[in-house]
């Protein structure tokens, strides 16, 4: 028996979700102190809600977002910096994490998060207080930035 279903609507239902994962593998770097870490890949749903203009992710849809980041540093990487999220070049204080790792120490992962309210297109980035240059031939160095629209 065949069942007829209505054609999918092109409009998004009220309260529908939105999320994105932005990441960089292998080489982590920024171009200036307090500068954003360069990110190269984005997976977003719906795509129109986000745009990657590295190191910034443009959040285009109004709402409240949970923004989380993770930075994985392999053995051999040496850092002494502070990671944080920035929205329109303003540091989100709840996201600040101190990262201190010697090259001789084991791998380490640093996490941070913040809630942001977007009323107009907003540029968000994962920033490092110091200039960093981490190159990992095994591509295990990683930075991720995730967005989840919660309201």
Q: What pLDDT, on the 0 to 100 scale, is given for residue 65?
A: 95
Neighbours of 59 (CB within 10 A): 25
Q: What pLDDT, on the 0 to 100 scale, is given for residue 139?
A: 60
Distances from the Cα of 13 to the Cαs of 18, 19, 85, 117, 125, in angstroms? 12, 15, 30, 20, 29
Q: Is the peptide bond before 46 cis (omega within 30 degrees of 0)?
A: yes
CA 146 to chain centre: 5
Q: What pLDDT, on the 0 to 100 scale, is given for residue 76?
A: 85
Q: What pLDDT, on the 0 to 100 scale, is given for residue 7?
A: 52
Q: How far apart are CA 16 and CA 141, in angstroms?
A: 34
Q: What is the mean pLDDT of residues 130-139?
A: 77
Q: What pLDDT, on the 0 to 100 scale, is given for residue 10?
A: 52
């Amino acid at each position: 028996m065949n069942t007829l279903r209505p054609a999918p609507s092109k409009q998004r239902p009220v309260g529908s979700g939105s999320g994105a994962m932005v990441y960089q593998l292998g080489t982590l770097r920024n171009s200036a102190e307090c500068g954003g870490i360069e990110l190269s890949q984005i997976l977003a749903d719906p795509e129109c809600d986000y745009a990657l203009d590295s190191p910034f992710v443009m959040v285009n849809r109004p709402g409240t977002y949970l923004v989380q980041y993770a930075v994985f540093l392999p053995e051999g990487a040496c850092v002494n910096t502070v990671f944080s999220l920035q929205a329109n070049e303003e540091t989100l204080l709840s996201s600040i994490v101190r990262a201190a790792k010697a090259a001789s120490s084991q791998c380490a992962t640093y996490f941070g998060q913040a809630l942001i309210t977007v009323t107009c297109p907003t540029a968000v980035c994962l920033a490092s207080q110091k200039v960093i240059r981490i190159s990992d031939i095994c591509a295990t160095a990683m930075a991720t930035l995730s967005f989840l629209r919660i309201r």
